[in-house]
Amino acid sequence: MNLKGTLPVLILQVLSEGDKYGYAIAQEITRRSRGVLDFKEGSLYPALHAQEKKGLIQSFDRTADGRHRRYYRLTDRGKEALAAQRTEWRRLSTAITEILAPA
């Protein structure tokens, strides 16, 4: 499942917990959603680049275990955006749950 519009906030959430490279971000989202959300490179990397262009994340190169990787970290602006998006998601989620609840 790939819910349109959810990937940017999920990226911010994962990065709020520490720096990660792209594939590790995707793996973490898949793991934590128990496989329900599985974003592929074709959607992940454009979303990462868009978040970086907005100043919400920044990238840097790091060599780990002998492998060169591009890592991402959350910026202060990204932390603010994440807080706002969490609030909005909770409002939306509550509203949808209310609508879908049996009468």
Where would I find the H helices in 1-103?
A: 7-16, 22-32, 41-53, 76-100
Q: How confident is the model at residue 86 (pLDDT cuts 50, 70, 90)?
A: very high
Give the model's pLDDT for residue 3.
59
Quick one: average pLDDT of 65-76?
94
pLDDT category of residue 39 using cuts at 50, 70 and 90: confident
Domains and CATH numbers, the chain: 7-100 (1.10.10.10)
pLDDT band of 4, cuts 50, 70, 90: low
How crowded is residue 11: how many other Cβ atoms within 10 Å of its Cβ?
A: 28
Q: Position of tokens 């909005």?
A: 88
